[in-house]
Chain A
Amino acid sequence: MDRLKGLPAFGFVAAAVLVALRLVHLGVPLVFPDARQGPIAVASLDDVRRRVGFAPLVPGYRPESLGVQPAHISVALGPHPTFAIVWSANDHYLSVTQRRGGPKPDHPLMARPLTDVPNSTWWATGSRVHLILERDGFWIAIDTSLGARDLRRFADTLAPY
């Protein structure tokens, strides 16, 4: 037994510290609900699934004026896993944000459903149009400078990457 002298005390201390760590792990989101993990810039769409745990939805339809490569891709790990992608070129702009769970993104009172697009809410501010979609537990927000007709095409061609 002398060969193991001090080991029970080690077990007790290690268990206490690990329990404290677990409490911190569980308690932080409760005490700091606004604690955001991100956004974190990622290099490519291939990294998105690995980081946020779901396949990113991107519109298959993309006018050439937006450019080929996205200007920015980012993910946020909390409080709700979120993926965001932005194309920006030639004064044209398209942003798609996909969030798992949480409340419906903010929208003005005058926003209304987009005809023939289920679970949608759209509105315009100046030259920009905005669309919120609910798909399989995800909130998808599309924001573009390209106009309402393109907005519908973006919504219709959303597909997992």
Chain B
Amino acid sequence: MIAAPWSAAVLSYAWQVTLHSFVLGTIFYIWTHRVVVPSGRAKRRLLVLVLVLPMLTAAVPGRASLEFAEGAAWANSARLLSIPILAGFRLEHVVFLIAMMAVVLTIGQEILPVLRRPATNGPPPPEPLVALVRSQPGWNNCGVAVYPHESVMMATGGAARRPHLFVSQGALETLSATELEAALAHEHAHWQAGRWFESHALFAVRLLQCYNPVALWVFREYSVEVEIACDAAAVRDRHPRVLARVLLRIYERTDPRDVAARAALRKRVDVLLGGGPADDALPQTTVAMAGAVMALVLPWIV
């Protein structure tokens, strides 16, 4: 017996979003590997499409009926979900299990770290650093706190109009003045050019899809791309090697078991030293047309 909630509108919509993001993600993944789309604006736009577009195409009305699914639709996922696997279990049960694992991962790796703010009971921040932070455009009221830990860490948080910079004791002791400036420029870039709003809006979209493993992967890719964009902004007026040195110091102090974090750092250093992101790898028209085509096609997959 399929649990009755499967037929409920919300769960049906949730599955349709997952299905569409999987199809869209697969197409974009193969496409960008064929035409070689490196890090940059075009890649960010494609990732945003994979996160947002399925929420719209899955909401197109009139797609829930059996007549549509078995008649007009190009592909009906219910056929796939009903494939028997073992001992009465079907593919839909595996999908449900994966969705639950994605929820656990989202809570454990994304929501809890956001709620767990770094302890700021360290020594007061050095006055020159506070002055430097508050001299950044739009940061005249930025709070600065020292995180009493030997790791090399600098991060920002807080509301849109009330930023807060956290810097670790290890960063203050390890980084030179120019390296500290480069790291600060990177953090400041997160609050420029609408990046703060865009990142938070997409994080909200991501949380709405907390059950969706594709959204989990796409948002992580997007986050790395934002870091790369901020790296590029930070080295606009300085040599990329300065920031690359900072990233390598963070890399050295990152737990080797944290494979994902180390891979992201390696990629950022590679892009920095390889000439920066390729913002125009794909023309805007191409990305827009690909999105429009998929917006028309996806509703026919149920």
| A5 interface residue per 8 A CB criterion | yes
Task: Tell me which of B34, B66, B80 contacts A9 (CB under 8 A).
Answer: B34
Q: Which chain A residue shows the least CB distance to B6?
A: A40
From known contacts A3-B283, A13-B30, A52-B66, infer whether A18 and B297 are also in contact, taking CB-CB under 8 Å. yes
A50 — which chain B residues lie within 8 A by C-beta?
A: 65-66
Task: Tell me which of A24, A32, A41, A77 contacts B4 (CB under 8 A).
Answer: A41
A17 near B30 with CB under 8 A, answer yes
From known contacts A5-B282, A21-B301, infer whether A35 and B79 are also in contact, taking CB-CB under 8 Å. yes
| B52 interface residue per 8 A CB criterion | no
> Which of B48-96 touch A at CB < 8 Å?
65-67, 70, 74-76, 78-84, 90
A25–B27 alpha-carbon span in the complex (Å)? 18
| B31 interface residue per 8 A CB criterion | yes
Instruction: Identify whether the interface residues of A are mostly helix, strand, loop, or mixed.
Output: helix
| A109 interface residue per 8 A CB criterion | no
A73 to chain B, nearest CB (A): 11
> Which of A31-66 touch B at CB < 8 Å?
32, 34-42, 50-53
Comparing B141-149, B181-189, B287-295, the segment that makes contact with chain A is: B287-295
B68 to chain A, nearest CB (A): 10
Give how many B residues have a beta carbon under 8 Å from the other chain's beta carbons.
38
A51 near B66 with CB under 8 A, answer yes
From known contacts A3-B283, A29-B79, infer whether A77 and B66 are also in contact, taking CB-CB under 8 Å. yes
B180 to chain A, nearest CB (A): 40
A40 near B4 with CB under 8 A, answer yes
Task: Tell me which of A7, A24, A81 contacts B289 (CB under 8 A).
Answer: A7
From known contacts A5-B286, A6-B35, A35-B83, infer whether A40 and B2 are also in contact, taking CB-CB under 8 Å. yes
B70 — which chain A residues lie within 8 A by C-beta?
A: 53, 77
Task: Tell me which of B31, B83, B283, B301 contacts A4 (CB under 8 A).
Answer: B283
Q: Which chain A residue shows the least CB distance to B7?
A: A40
B66 — which chain A residues lie within 8 A by C-beta?
A: 50-53, 77, 81
| A71 interface residue per 8 A CB criterion | no
A4 — which chain B residues lie within 8 A by C-beta?
A: 283, 285-286, 289
| A2 interface residue per 8 A CB criterion | yes
A34–B83 alpha-carbon span in the complex (Å)? 8
A37–B37 alpha-carbon span in the complex (Å)? 40
A16–B32 alpha-carbon span in the complex (Å)? 15
| A28 interface residue per 8 A CB criterion | yes
B74 near A32 with CB under 8 A, answer no
**1/0 contact string of B22-53 vs chain A (CB within 8 Å):** 01001100110011010000000000000000
B75 — which chain A residues lie within 8 A by C-beta?
A: 18, 21-22, 24-25
A133–B90 alpha-carbon span in the complex (Å)? 31
B82 near A78 with CB under 8 A, answer yes
From known contacts A4-B286, A77-B66, infer whether A17 and B79 are also in contact, taking CB-CB under 8 Å. no
A35 — which chain B residues lie within 8 A by C-beta?
A: 79, 82-84, 90
Q: Which chain A residue shows the least CB distance to B34?
A: A9
B282 — which chain A residues lie within 8 A by C-beta?
A: 5-6
A79–B211 alpha-carbon span in the complex (Å)? 29
B82 near A9 with CB under 8 A, answer no
A37 near B1 with CB under 8 A, answer no
From known contacts A6-B282, A24-B75, infer whether A14 and B293 are also in contact, taking CB-CB under 8 Å. yes
A78–B282 alpha-carbon span in the complex (Å)? 44
A39 — which chain B residues lie within 8 A by C-beta?
A: 1-2
- Nearest first, the 6 closest Cβ-Cβ pairs linking A and B are A41-B4, A25-B75, A21-B75, A28-B79, A35-B82, A13-B31
Show 26 residue pairs from A and B whose CB-CB distance is below 8 angstroms, ordered by the A residue: A3-B286, A4-B286, A5-B282, A6-B31, A6-B37, A9-B34, A10-B286, A14-B290, A14-B293, A14-B294, A17-B23, A17-B26, A18-B74, A24-B79, A29-B79, A35-B79, A35-B82, A36-B84, A39-B2, A42-B4, A50-B65, A51-B66, A77-B70, A77-B78, A78-B79, A81-B66
